[in-house]
Amino acid sequence: MNRTVLIAIVLLFLPLSACGRTKTIDQLSILHTVGYDSLEGGELRGTLLYPDYTKSKNEDNIQIRKTRGKTSSMLLARTNKQTKNPIELSKIQVIAFGEDYARHGIGHLIDTVFNNPMIATDIQTVVVTPTARKYLEGVKKNGTLAIDDTIVQNYTTSSMPRTSLHIFMNDYYGEGRDPYMPILKQGAETNVYVDGLAIFKDDKFKVRLDNNQAFIFGLLDNFNHQGFYELPIKIGSHTGDIVIRTMKNKPAWRPGKSNRSRSLELSLNLFVIIREYPDWVHLHNEKDIHLLEKTIEKKVKSEITSLIKTFKENGVDPLGLGDRIRAYNRNWNERTFYKDEYKKLQVKIDVKTTVIQAGIKR
């Protein structure tokens, strides 16, 4: 056979073979969010949201499917029977757990769904209230699949710690630390908003942080957060409130100087903008600036101390203090540390604040 003809035939069949492996987007149900709730008798209740790309912009293109079963695989199989196109799992963006289910333990789903190689590790995992079913019904009613965008926006423009499936799994399987997820709920106008942080012990949701505590927790994350924080201030006989915006946070952990295996030192450098302040505060006055910086340092240090105390009292360690001690103690044992040593662990905290810009008076 002529060599030129042979090459032409081969080139002709290459695109045909490639077309056989592609999936047309309007012939798939690309799953965006799946929610899980627990039912009596060990059953799971599943709620799934996915966009329908065949509908026009003026139509409701968010589809919801509801099912139940004893395993996550059967939930998906039964949902497939309800859709005109097969469900595609690889593009899922959010896995949501009803609060009651999360408190009773999500270990089975961690071992199955979370370890599914089809699911990317940069997706978001969340606890939702009151249940995943009611929450996702509200999302559909609102008409926008903005759950993952809301979470990312909250840790980039506020001080919520970074979250993702990868971070959760690293903390869950790693020694000397506990995992966490954001808590979401519906607002008054069915909008999505973050309502604190769920701290887990093993596979169970154990401690709830409010947004103020989550802000402080986020300052101890190496990610560069930019969040707003309101705190009281007093100068002489004057009292009022100021609003700051953190522009950069630099936490640094070191072993304690006195006992490297029994204590830690935290240095936190904050760079802030004063966004609002009373008219009796004079930001052109170095004395007032210095007083503001000291007020912020004292408040943040107090909040960090209180947060660590809360973690110790509840036996959770989302800051990974055990892991930090482990790095300097070759004989470290996780079981022994949390049973006998964690509550006694000394943490020396030093906060330094620099005001880099002033905002408006009020």
Does residue 217 or residue 160 have the better pLDDT? 217
Does residue 1 or residue 314 have the better pLDDT? 314
User: Which pLDDT band, with edges at 50, 70 and 90, does 177 fall under?
Assistant: very high
CA distance 90 to 79: 16
Per-chain mean pLDDT for the chain: 85
pLDDT digit string, tens, across residues 115-135: 888 888 899 999 999 999 999
pLDDT at 147 over 70: yes
Please tell me whether the peptide bond between 51 and the residue prior to it is cis, using omega within 30 degrees of 0.
no
Q: Phi/psi at 330 (nearest 5 deg)?
A: -70, -20
β partners of residue 358:
274
* Positions of CATH 3.30.300.210 in the chain: 220-361
Does residue 357 or residue 226 have the better pLDDT? 226
pLDDT digit string, tens, across residues 17-73: 444 444 554 555 688 899 999 998 889 999 999 887 666 555 567 889 999 988 888
β partners of residue 229:
244
β partners of residue 304:
none
CA atoms within 13 A on the CB side of 81: 8
pLDDT digit string, tens, across residues 81-123: 777 777 777 788 999 999 999 999 999 899 888 888 888 889 9
Q: What is the longest distance spanned by two Cα atoms in the chain?
A: 100
Which superfamily does 220-361 belong to?
Nutrient germinant receptor protein C, domain 3 (3.30.300.210)
CA distance 332 to 325: 8
